[in-house]
Amino acid sequence: MTCFRTFASGSSGNAALLSCGNTHLLIDMGISCRRICRALAEQGLTPEDLSAILITHEHTDHISGLATYIKKYHTPILCTPGTARQLQYRLAGIALLLRPLSMGERVSWEEVEITPLPTSHDCRESAAYRVDTPDGTLGYLTDTGLVEEETRQGLLGSDLLVLESNHDVDMLLGGPYPYPLKRRVLGNEGHLSNADAARFASESAQAGTRSIILAHLSAENNTPQLALDTVRQQLDLAGYTGQLTVAPRCEPGNIHILEGVPCRR
């Protein structure tokens, strides 16, 4: 059995856990080491049980817990070469833990197979992840201004899709952000809007996706209900009957199970 749970999802911090048998992958560590340890304990795990940490990119809301964590634990850290270089600049002592993954290259890691896929974000070589397990496929896509074609092809039809639905465009334009920040968020290297998420969610649902988690919602420029309503409208038109939920911003979300579904490639 494979299960997935977000620990936090938003601009104040991001982290999630995928467990497949004895393989436990943490995706990002943008919350404190203490919170990570507490969330793992709720799953009956300790940091020593982690098989690896997947890092999507080097922005603070995705790595803020690493500085303390690597002083205590020695979990391998998987990321793209560009992200690895940025982590070495920022965090002393991390180099020996880094295991760079080439973009688009499928790598076996214990009981799963991991493929980093490109995202369009204002940082060095940020990545989405496809994780193939014996029970199905996880697609994890946040922090991107658009869906790159390689990533679209790699994640379409993922059994469980974690998808950024960062902002409502009208709320953002009418909200308190200064103009340069609004332009950044709306740009091709910014974040996916609810409408962007709805389009890709609908396409992926038609390709076979069974469950969708909307992630990385803005606290200022979105609401969970607005994101759900926008995406659900498109999914209804596509005839989708699967699950649609929103990842909580500051606390662990529900446990999602991939069970008995052969992975498709």
* pTM (two decimals): 0.95
Q: How many domains does the chain have?
A: 1
Residues of the chain with pLDDT under 70: 259-265
For residue 253, what are its two tokens? 């979300």
- Domain assignment present for residue 264? The answer is no
**For the domain that residue 121 is a member of, what is the CATH number?**
3.60.15.10
Q: Which of 16, 27, 62, 26 is nearest to 47 (CA)?
A: 26
Apex CA 249: angle with CA 80 and CA 177, to 5°?
85
Domain housing 53:
2-258
Q: Domain for residue 265, yes or no?
A: no
CA dihedral 114, 9, 153, 239 (to 10 degrees): 130
Domain presence at residue 165:
yes
The per-residue pLDDT for range 45-91, each reduced to its tens digit, is 999 999 999 999 999 999 999 999 999 999 999 999 999 999 999 99
Backbone angles phi, psi at 64, to 5 degrees: -60, -25
